[in-house]
Amino acid sequence: MAEKATRERGALFSKDHPKYKWIALSNTTLGMLMVTVNSSIVLISLPAIFKGIQLNPLEPGNVSYLLWMLMGFILVTAVLVMTFGRLGDIYGRVKIYNYGFVIFTIAAIALVFDPFLSGQGALWLIGWRVVQAVGGAMIFANSTAILTDAFPANKRGMAIGINQIAAIAGSFLGLLIGGVLAEIDWHAIFVVSVPFGILGTIWSFKSLHEVGTRNPGKVDIPGNVLFAVGLISLLTGITYGIQPYGDSSTGWLNPWVLGSIIGGIALLVVFVIVELHHKDPLFNVRLFAIKAFAWGNLAGLMAAISRGGLQFMLIIWLQGIWLPLHGYSYESTPLWAGIYLLPLTIGFLVSGPISGILSDKFGARTFAVGGLLLVAATFIALLLIPVNFDYGIFAVLTFLNGVGSGMFAAPNRTAIMNSVPANQRGAASGMTGTFQNAGNSLSIGIFFSLMIAGLANTLPNAMFSGLTTHGISTTVANQIAATPPVGSLFAAFLGYNPIESILGPTGVLNSLSAANSSALTGQTFFPQLISDPFHSGLIIVFTAAAILSLIGAVASFFAGGKYMHTETPIEQPQPQDLAAELSDV
């Protein structure tokens, strides 16, 4: 009996077993969930982390630590995911995926044991988060390709639906998990990944097999360098664009920012030219001749930018205004923001797998277009509710936003993966992941800048009036009112009391009466002060997000209906012939 049970277990982990595809689905879904939870778990936990390493992130000299703690993981993942997708095509997708789990887990262990404090402690965390992002990129790049290899064409929508919704929902679950663990101990934020990393590593090495079509070739060193340097330059420039420069509230006129963005774009243009003439390119750019692939990735980029903007704006809205007005201390707002955003995550989880299953039968167009139209409608609806909203209405709107995103995500990714040749799936998955992760990274620079632009027109007057009413001299009030709004936004985002973080270092609070000092640093002064200016900024931000969603819906329409790439008898289909294989529906 024992020998029979052993044989059955061995057969289950065989690539030829009928249930192998479910093993692949469960393993890759764990991997995607783990990576995306870690991409956002730090966002909500930054106050606890900086307090633990005894560093004030809002001091001018520490802003770079803050930005890289926010952006390092996302940026590195965006840059490397396509490289590891291509390496998966060359050396084996499962092999790259498995080693990704190893690297991710080693970095998670190192993050727990930070031996330093202050700036050195921050650099330790940033450095190992970068290493963790390398492992995350290896997992992210190949999980969808592994699923596409394991599942028959008529079941991929369901499988990729579960996988993708786990990925997207993970970014919101990370907010809740981070909020809960930050209340316990900041080390727990990193400890939680260790057992899942060890389990996933053992499981992936034991159970996953190479079943896909390989695309042997040499590593494209020029392409890798051009793409990495170009994308890093572009995304870094956009990230630093939110920092003040000179008399401007943002840094978009900073020569270094402009040079970084322009130089990054130029290098990416050179990358495309080089790839068109390279024998073994990092990415076969001629895949963009396939309508479903090109329009699907454009739609994915638009959806990722708008979704990332929603995440950050809702966190600021809840932590900086709504929660303090409803009696929550600033220190507790990160946890409660994650809890109050649960309807958004539930919407993803409800609609994603269902739309994935249905798209197997009916194609992606209806679900992708309808999903993004629903998302756009919820952005407009969020503008119509007051800043101090009734939570029931807010919960319904965020739930519907999650439903719309779930309707889009799975069919879109399935259509993209179904449209490419089998030996290009790793690179295609990597490119799609690049668009998704770059969109998340771009959203921070874009939407923070739009919000700052909205606040810059209205916040100074409101700040001046509020401060002078509570005993602050006109000279000091003018100085504080002229402070770029990014400081207040970051303070609210991090769960700090914004007024206390601005006035505390000046010593002004000590010269005020107890009543005025208490009023300025209480839970209602800043939320009431910023409500109208914030809504002005929100109009700009959510209007832009709605427009991006509508562009994504149009792109999804042009991506076409149900389409499946059909392999030619040639082992490696010629790229220039790929467009001819596309049939419209």
Q: Identify the top-confidence range among 233-242, 265-274, 469-478.
A: 265-274
pLDDT band of residue 60 (cuts 50, 70, 90) is low
Cβ atoms of 343 and 398 closer than 8 Å: yes
Asked whether residue 73 is assigned to any structural domain, the reply reads yes
pLDDT at 120: 92
Please report whether residue 344 resides in a domain. yes
What digits encode the pLDDT tens for the residues 99-140? 999 999 999 999 999 899 888 999 999 999 999 999 999 998
**What CATH code is carried by the domain that includes residue 293?**
1.20.1250.20
How many percent of the chain have pLDDT more than 90? 23
The answer to whether position 568 is within a domain reads no
Residue 372 confidence (pLDDT) above 50: yes
Residues 235 and 350 in one domain: no
| Confidence (pLDDT) at 246 | 78
**pLDDT tens figures, 275-294:** 888 887 877 888 888 888 89
The count of domains in the chain is 3
User: What confidence score (pLDDT) does residue 427 get?
Assistant: 74
Q: Assess if residue 569 is contained within a domain.
A: no
The answer on pLDDT for 569 being more than 60 is no
Instruction: Verify that 228 and 291 share a domain, yes or no.
Output: no
pLDDT higher than threshold 80 for residue 216: no
Range of the domain at 258: 220-279
pLDDT at 452: 83
User: Which of 263, 279, 295 marks a domain boundary?
Assistant: 279
| 160 & 93 share domain | yes
| pLDDT of residue 16 exceeding 80 | no
- Do 307 and 451 have their domain in common? yes
H or E element at residue 295: helix 291-317
For 188-194, what is the mean pLDDT?
A: 89
266 and 368 co-located in one domain: no
What pLDDT shows up at residue 518? 86
Summarised one tens digit per residue, pLDDT across range 130-172 is 999 999 999 988 888 888 788 887 777 778 777 777 777 777 7
- List the structure tokens of 198: 């060890």
85 inside domain: yes
* Mean pLDDT taken over the chain: 82
Are 326 and 275 found together in one domain? no
Structure tokens at 374: 């629903």
With 90 as the cut, is the pLDDT of residue 223 above it? no
Judgement on whether residues 159 and 271 belong to the same structural domain of the protein: no
Assess whether 522 and 439 both reside in one domain. Answer: no
Q: Which residues of 517-538 are buried (b: 16+ CB within 10 A; e: fewer)?
A: bebbbebebbbbbbbebbbbbb
Tokens representing 366 are 């209806």
Number of H helices, E strands in the chain: 22, 0
Mean pLDDT lowest among 158-172, 184-198, 472-486, 514-528: 158-172
Q: In whole angstroms, what is the distance from residue 565 CA to residue 578 CA?
A: 9
Task: Clarify whether residues 284 and 400 are in a common domain.
Answer: yes
Lowest-pLDDT choice from 29-38, 308-317, 486-495: 486-495
What's the confidence (pLDDT) of residue 386? 93
578 has a pLDDT exceeding 50: no
Shared domain for 168 and 294, answered yes or no, is yes
Which residues lie below 8 Å from residue 188, measured CB to CB, with a gap of 6+?
181, 182
Domain boundary among 517, 532, 547: 532
Does residue 580 lie in a domain region? no
* Structure-token pair, residue 312: 């950050």
Position 61 pLDDT exceeds 80: no
Q: Is residue 514 over pLDDT 60?
A: yes
Residue pair 270/227 in contact by the 8 Å Cβ criterion: no
Least confident of 206-215, 376-385, 389-398, 409-418: 206-215
Q: Is residue 333 part of a domain?
A: yes
Say yes or no: 106 and 30 in one domain.
Answer: yes
Give yes or no: residues 442 and 461 share one domain.
Answer: no
Domain assignment present for residue 175? The answer is yes
Task: Identify the pLDDT of residue 15.
Answer: 54
Amino acid 563: pLDDT = 56
The tens digit of pLDDT for each residue in 130-140 reads 999 999 999 98
pLDDT of residue 9: 47
Q: Where are the alpha helices (DSSP H) in 419-507?
A: 425-469, 474-481, 486-494, 498-503
pLDDT above 90 (res 568):
no
